[in-house]
Amino acid sequence: MHFAGMMHQILLVKRFFRDSRGNFATGLVVMLLPMIAAVGAAVDLANMNRERSRLQSALDAASMQIAVKVNSGLSDGELQALGDKLLKANLASVDAGADNIPSLVYHGLATEDHGSQSLRTESSLNYTYLIPRSIGGDGPSSTTILVRSRITSNNGDTACVYALNRAAPRAFEAAGSTTVIMDGCVIASNSSAPDSIYVGGDASLEADCIQSSGGIVATSGLITDCEQNRVNAWRLPDPWGNLVEPVPPILYPNPKAGDLTVSPGRYRNLDLSGDKTLEPGLYYVEGSLSVKGIVTGAGVTMFMADGGITVNGNGSLSLSAPQTGDYAGMLMMSARANTSSHLFNGNGATDLNGVLYFPYGDLTYNGNNGTSSSCLRIVADTIKMSGNSNIKSDCSAELGGREAKVAGPFYFSM
């Protein structure tokens, strides 16, 4: 009986090996495995492309909102938090395979080698494969989907008038009955204040365009040639922030009232009364510069070490900057440590051709001051023009190759 049982088991084994039905099923599964893997990979690829596209679109939209808010006073951390919130809001759901909620990483605003500025962000999510990458189970079970966004602003138009202060209300102001006409260039302000550029009263302001890193308030009298004045524009740094300041030359005594010519050199509290002709060169002034007479000169640079410029009463200036040399194009400039105010006041008439550059000083035109120049450019911390001052300038010509560029419109870039 034991023997008979053993024989029965052997017969069952032989019958199993002779049965082709199980072998066919097993073979079919083996043959289908590559096809199943290929179908799974195709589904994963479609899912990943869809998730990548959704994530890229959401990141781009959030990045553009960050770009608009760059000048709002928010810190980099606050900008990242804002962008992250917008990113998550733009991602309505997470589709099959995506097993985490993406976050936005903000890398800040950086200046490129060629002078443009770029804002960079990125985001990622972890995607779990529907089918492991290898049948044996040794392959990866997931992958990371990483997307990046870059928004760039190239150097834009040339500014004839540029207020550098980043927060002051009315960083550029035209008020009273002043008339400002600037041809071939823009008027710009780096201030993020809502009234960064203000035109009020009976003031008239004409330029190619107006550009503000904050807002523009104009009750009337604003005439521009561009399709639309720009607000919330990105700032650009001080255009001449790397300009080396002059070394103090030999100290000269102040000119006397009867002197008709003045030589370049170093002066303290320079008082220009009567008729004076400035010889070409650098005038290094410690303390104040006061103009009470009729002053003319060509190839002149006035450097204010620690004081302000005042043009009083009927004082008038007819000056032009040098076209070559270290300070080509610079007519009047102040040290970066100089925060003094500069005032062109009263009935003085001026013909200034060159750059007025006071990076940390305020510039004011008051009263009946009139300026008519072939090319005048003003870059100062804040700029105010009021009263009956009239300023005209055609800056189609360059001044010693110096240009103050504003930031152009921002756009998505690679």
Domain boundary among 140, 168, 194: 140
User: Do 348 and 251 share a structural domain?
Assistant: yes
> In whole angstroms, what is the distance from residue 360 CA to residue 90 CA?
42
> In whole angstroms, what is the distance from residue 89 CA to residue 1 CA?
78
Which tokens in the block code for residue 143?
A: 């992958």
- Is the residue at 199 inside a domain? yes
- Is the residue at 146 inside a domain? no
User: Do 170 and 90 share a structural domain?
Assistant: no
| 3-state SS class at 130 | coil
Question: Quick one: residue 58, left, alpha or beta (phi over 0 = left, psi -120 to 50 = alpha)?
Answer: alpha
- Is the residue at 369 inside a domain? yes
Which tokens in the block code for residue 334?
A: 């102040």
Which tokens in the block code for residue 173?
A: 């102001």
User: Do 254 and 131 share a structural domain?
Assistant: no
Q: How far is CA 286 from CA 210, 300, 303, 345, in A?
A: 35, 17, 9, 21
- From first to last of its 414 residues, the chain has per-residue pLDDT tens of 444 444 444 444 445 445 555 555 555 455 555 665 666 677 778 888 988 999 999 999 999 999 988 887 788 999 999 999 999 998 875 554 555 788 999 999 888 777 788 999 999 998 888 776 655 556 678 889 999 999 998 888 888 899 999 999 999 999 888 888 888 889 999 999 999 999 998 888 888 999 999 999 997 788 899 989 999 899 888 999 999 999 999 999 999 988 999 999 999 999 999 899 999 999 999 999 999 889 999 999 999 999 999 988 677 788 999 989 999 999 999 999 999 999 987 666 678 889 999 999 999 987 666 666 778 889 999 999 887 665 666 655 567 777 888 888 888 987
Domain that holds residue 31: 2-140
Which tokens in the block code for residue 210?
A: 């107006």
User: Do 333 and 299 share a structural domain?
Assistant: yes
Domain boundary among 115, 140, 165: 140
- Is the residue at 172 inside a domain? yes
- 3-class SS string, 259-310: CCEECCEEEEEEEECCEEEECCEEEEEEEEEEECCEEEECCEEEEECCCCEE
User: Do 116 and 161 share a structural domain?
Assistant: no
Burial class (CB in 10 A: 0-12, 13-18, 19+), 74: middle
> In whole angstroms, what is the distance from residue 379 CA to residue 384 CA?
12
Q: Half-sphere exposure (CA, 13 Å, Cβ side) for 379?
A: 25
User: Do 348 and 232 share a structural domain?
Assistant: yes
User: Do 276 and 350 share a structural domain?
Assistant: yes
User: Do 193 and 106 share a structural domain?
Assistant: no
- Is the residue at 356 inside a domain? yes
Domain boundary among 106, 140, 174: 140
Contact 236, 164 (CB under 8 A): no
User: Do 119 and 170 share a structural domain?
Assistant: no
pTM for the model stands at 0.79
Domain count, the chain: 2
> In whole angstroms, what is the distance from residue 220 CA to residue 199 CA?
7
- Is the residue at 231 inside a domain? yes
User: Do 361 and 294 share a structural domain?
Assistant: yes
- Is the residue at 413 inside a domain? no
Which tokens in the block code for residue 391?
A: 């300023």
- Is the residue at 152 inside a domain? no
Angle between helices 20-69 and 76-90 (to 10 degrees): 130
State the Cα angle at 190 between 117 and 241, rounded to 5°. 70
User: Do 177 and 43 share a structural domain?
Assistant: no
Contact 181, 395 (CB under 8 A): no
User: Do 104 and 215 share a structural domain?
Assistant: no
